[in-house]
Structure 1
Amino acid sequence: MAIEHYDVFVIGTGTAGKGVAKDCAAAGMKVAVADNREYGGTCPNRGCDPKKVLVGATEIVQLAQNLKGKGITEVPKIDWQELQKFKENFTSAIPISTEKDFKKAGITMYHQSPKFLDETTLSVEGKTITAGKIVITSGMHPRELKIDGREHLLKSEDFLNQPTLPEEIIFIGGGYVGMEFAHIAARCGSKVTVIEMSERPLMPFDEDMVSHITKASEVLGINFIFNAKVTEVELLQTNYRVSFQKNGKTETVKAKAVFNTSGRVPSIEDLDLEKGNIAFERDGISVNTFLQSTTNKNVYACGDVSASGTLPLTPISSLETKIVSENIRNGNTTKLTYPVTPSIVYTLPQIATVGMGEKEAKGKGHDIIVEYKSVPKWFNAKRINEKTYAYKTIIDKNTDVILGAHIVAAHCDEIINLFTMAITMKMKATDLKSIIFAYPTWGNDIRGMV
């Protein structure tokens, strides 16, 4: 059987993989892609985009709840099945449209996860493939919990595709996914419990800001169990029983469905990386500043699967895509720089962060000014009767340069974008205060936060 050769072979068809493949094909290279899931990747199919559609409906409920008795007489209820149909408008066409794009670009497609045979050879769909450059963009998938009864656990994509929403839900893990889904489910009428190993949810975020979102979540009706290690999931007649260790004792809680939201890990276990002489670590493929494998010069990795030191976010995947495609086409000419990157959790209210926290700023030798306030009486919160609004900003005392911002607010996703721009441009607090913003907007509030 003849061995097919490609200039570039891309593993994964999400944001990163699609970008590299199309760039290289446009440059006249012979390109192929492979994916063992539906084409298009996690974000548009089973991640960020469908999640945000569900969040959109809960925003209406929350705003009505805030203003009930203040001009609003009734809080609407969410029809989960109708909402799911609406969500399908955004997701159903993604795989087909992605494949059409590849076909139009002259890119060969495979529908299986390849395995490395050596540094430049792959096995896929029973065929042997060689490539000048191989790009791994296989993303991440939910971490498996090594506990008894783990076969009963559902995953994040199961939640997004639930035909009916269970009356009682347990989420194991209080990170991004667990907290966002907990808020969606609670506002859709489910009784929600979050079990978290640490002493609080959202460990990467500022502790003071997290305390505000935790209190708001409890007011919503979410039950938290902290410092708890889940040990077993049992199927009962109509429920699932989750056992966990807390304070040296075994306790249990029951629900109609249990979701594993304990985190995500790089999707590399099926690639036989050892045969390809490809080093990897906990965060993914080991890469240099060119996003090239540290042990196999023929291999690059970008997006969530690369251990590049960046956050696993879609905009970062797009950035790394350009770096890899340029380095493949032009030789290693472009290095990864580490941009100021905001991170947002779409609970309601939202929680967002960008730049340095207090400990990081002090650790880097900055003499800092920390401004931390709870401001539910500011106009933008007050006009929608939102009780939770807080911020913490970090300023260098000597230079007046803004170093970091941490916010809990109804619309902090837009506020944090303005802080991201300010930090990227190394703006001083006095510079930010001098800018005229439209009033009364949430963006204008940043002038009062520094």
Structure 2
Amino acid sequence: MKYDYDLLVIGAGSGGVRAARIAAGHGKKVAICEADQVGGTCVIRGCVPKKLMVYASQYNKLFKAAKTFGWDIDSRFDWPTLLHNKNAEINRLNGIYLNLLANAGVALIEGHGSFIDPHTVDIAGKSYSAEHILIATGGRPSVPDIPGSEHVITSNEALELPALPESITINGGGYIAVEFAGIFNALGVAVNLVYRGPQILRGFDAEVAAFAQQSFAEAGVQVMTDTEILAVESTASGLLCQTNQGPLASEVVMFATGRQANTDRLNLAAAGIATQANGQVVVDREQRTSVANVFAVGDVCNQDNLTPVAIREGHYLVDRLYAGGQQFPEYDHIPTTVFSQPEIGTCGLTEADARHQYPNIECFTSTFRAMKYAMSEVSEKTFMKIVVNADTDQVLGMHVVGADGGEMIQGFAVALKQGLTKTQLNRTIGIHPTSAEEFVTL
């Protein structure tokens, strides 16, 4: 049977764009459909704009430290300027993605993709067929169905607020919640960080999470654990959250309580594609769905909702399909960073996970004040932790809470992936004076 395309990709985010480009480079006829700007969550309403806002918010702390170094700075923050320049950068990146697709020879079709059958997709009322179809539609924020949920914003709207609020209540304790708590707090907004569990940053090393939570509180964020928002009411002065701990008022309420896969508009049943209870597409090691010619990559099918993971999956997939590739993504030792303030960088096992898997574990920790803040009024501290298998000397996990934590952990992640030992770490000469040198002297 002759198809319109060799590969049709639904969703032009990081994973989908990479797969489309590489497949076209292998000489295949490729199309990609997208109903929004090209670039996906990461570029348009995720990692990139969020980190631009993190950068903006960090200047407040830098200006405080600058006085100690002889700089007398009279500063004033302007939210509209940040939004304008952030949007200009997003548009620039969108243009780059468009050029990458065009230069690769990938056809861009505007509109939502919806399956008609395993080989055919409807896009804006027109049907397109393909030998292989790749689902790369990513995910979106989810808000629980509680009274007053219509008054709540998510991270999407937080990136586009018309004015900087005087106060905000952020519901959640994961990456997105703590990152936006740090952004708004540093910009002078009164922040309530509400989490229903006893400790924010669930899944992270317990000492890391506790240190980070204390750091957020010391920076001015009101962290409220064991607190659940039951309803949100609109009042003359703003919004009122009804919680199990009593009422909580703020100008804006943001929920960062999880994300869901963008599968509801795909009409997956028409193609017989299986999903999990949470809507995510079920895939095997090959990224293949329950239908032999349909694949999925990225947040639409993963627990590791990270841009580099989606990119690697998409790239390796089309190499296997069209170029005899034999590589598969490896999900161990994935380094990750929470762009909170202070920043969290981590790779490998937490202490709890290590003790569950190995009989003899040794941990090394250090807490100190970074040199850049030592002379200033900024009291932020850095925490580092190394988790070691005492029987083999292998380093199982490395964690840091502090300035540039992500930049530090990226380099150490390479060594962790290769089986780094504590002895090898200690034999490495540190770069002095840096915070990172602490890792090789613990």
TM bin, normalised by shorter chain, reads: over 0.9
Deviation larger for 134-143 or 104-113: 104-113
Aligned counterparts of 2:52 and 2:268: Cα–Cα separation in 1: 37
- The change in CA–CA distance for 1:210 and 1:302 in structure 2 (over 3 A counts) is same
Aligned counterparts of 2:341 and 2:295: Cα–Cα separation in 1: 38
CA contact (8 A) 2:173 2:195 kept: yes
Aligned counterparts of 1:397 and 1:337: Cα–Cα separation in 2: 25
- Counterpart in 1 of 2:202? 203
Is 1:314 aligned to 2:310, yes or no? Answer: no
What pairs with 1:18-97 in structure 2 (closer than 5 Å)?
18-66=17-65, 68=67, 71=70, 76-97=75-96
Report how far residue 48 of structure 1 moved: 0.8
Deviation larger for 325-334 or 33-42: 325-334
Deviations 1:332-357 (A, max 9, x none): 74333224111111112112221011
Is 1:287 aligned to 2:283, yes or no? Answer: yes
Report how far residue 278 of structure 1 moved: 1.4
Deviations 1:93-140 (A, max 9, x none): 233332333233332222222111222222111112221111011111
- The change in CA–CA distance for 1:436 and 1:381 in structure 2 (over 3 A counts) is farther
- The change in CA–CA distance for 1:236 and 1:32 in structure 2 (over 3 A counts) is same
Report how far residue 359 of structure 1 moved: 2.0
**3-state SS of paired residue (2:96):** helix
- The change in CA–CA distance for 1:60 and 1:299 in structure 2 (over 3 A counts) is same
Is 1:433 aligned to 2:426, yes or no? Answer: yes
Aligned counterparts of 2:375 and 2:33: Cα–Cα separation in 1: 51
CA contact (8 A) 1:390 1:408 kept: yes
CA contact (8 A) 1:243 1:252 kept: yes
Deviation larger for 102-111 or 118-127: 102-111
Counterpart AA for 1:321:
G
Counterpart AA for 1:292:
R
Aligned counterparts of 2:154 and 2:208: Cα–Cα separation in 1: 27
2:350 to 354, 357, 360: 357
- The change in CA–CA distance for 1:67 and 1:182 in structure 2 (over 3 A counts) is same
Ranges of 4+ aligned residues in structure 1 off by more than 4 Å = 66-75, 378-381, 383-386
What pairs with 1:82-231 in structure 2 (closer than 5 Å)?
82-231=81-230
- The change in CA–CA distance for 1:437 and 1:155 in structure 2 (over 3 A counts) is same
Is 1:278 aligned to 2:273, yes or no? Answer: yes
CA contact (8 A) 2:430 2:441 kept: no
CA contact (8 A) 1:22 1:105 kept: yes
- The change in CA–CA distance for 1:326 and 1:438 in structure 2 (over 3 A counts) is same
Is 1:382 aligned to 2:374, yes or no? Answer: yes
- Counterpart in 2 of 1:424? 417
Unmatched 5+ stretches in structure 2: none
**3-state SS of paired residue (2:244):** strand
CA contact (8 A) 2:116 2:122 kept: yes
Report sequence identity in percent: 27
Unmatched 5+ stretches in structure 1: none
CA RMSD of aligned residues (A): 2.2
Aligned counterparts of 1:393 and 1:109: Cα–Cα separation in 2: 47
- The change in CA–CA distance for 1:379 and 1:104 in structure 2 (over 3 A counts) is closer
Aligned counterparts of 2:260 and 2:166: Cα–Cα separation in 1: 29
Aligned counterparts of 2:76 and 2:258: Cα–Cα separation in 1: 30
TM-score (norm 2): 0.93
Aligned counterparts of 1:63 and 1:396: Cα–Cα separation in 2: 39
Deviations 1:370-427 (A, max 9, x none): 1233223x65663665432112211111221111012111121122123212211111
Aligned counterparts of 1:59 and 1:171: Cα–Cα separation in 2: 19
Is 1:268 aligned to 2:263, yes or no? Answer: yes
- Counterpart in 1 of 2:297? 302
Deviations 1:195-234 (A, max 9, x none): 1111121112112112222122112221122222222122
Deviations 1:276-325 (A, max 9, x none): 221222372211111111x1111111122223x5x211111221121111
- The change in CA–CA distance for 1:330 and 1:435 in structure 2 (over 3 A counts) is same
TM-score (norm 1): 0.91
- Counterpart in 2 of 1:258? 253
Counterpart AA for 2:275:
F
- The change in CA–CA distance for 1:220 and 1:207 in structure 2 (over 3 A counts) is same
Counterpart AA for 2:199:
R
Report how far residue 69 of structure 1 moved: 5.6
Deviations 1:81-101 (A, max 9, x none): 222233233212233332333
Report how far residue 73 of structure 1 moved: 5.2
Aligned counterparts of 2:94 and 2:408: Cα–Cα separation in 1: 33
Aligned counterparts of 1:88 and 1:333: Cα–Cα separation in 2: 40
CA contact (8 A) 1:172 1:261 kept: yes
Counterpart AA for 2:266:
L
Report how far residue 175 of structure 1 moved: 1.3
Q: Number of aligned pairs?
A: 439
CA contact (8 A) 2:358 2:389 kept: no
Aligned counterparts of 1:69 and 1:381: Cα–Cα separation in 2: 9
Aligned counterparts of 2:385 and 2:431: Cα–Cα separation in 1: 22
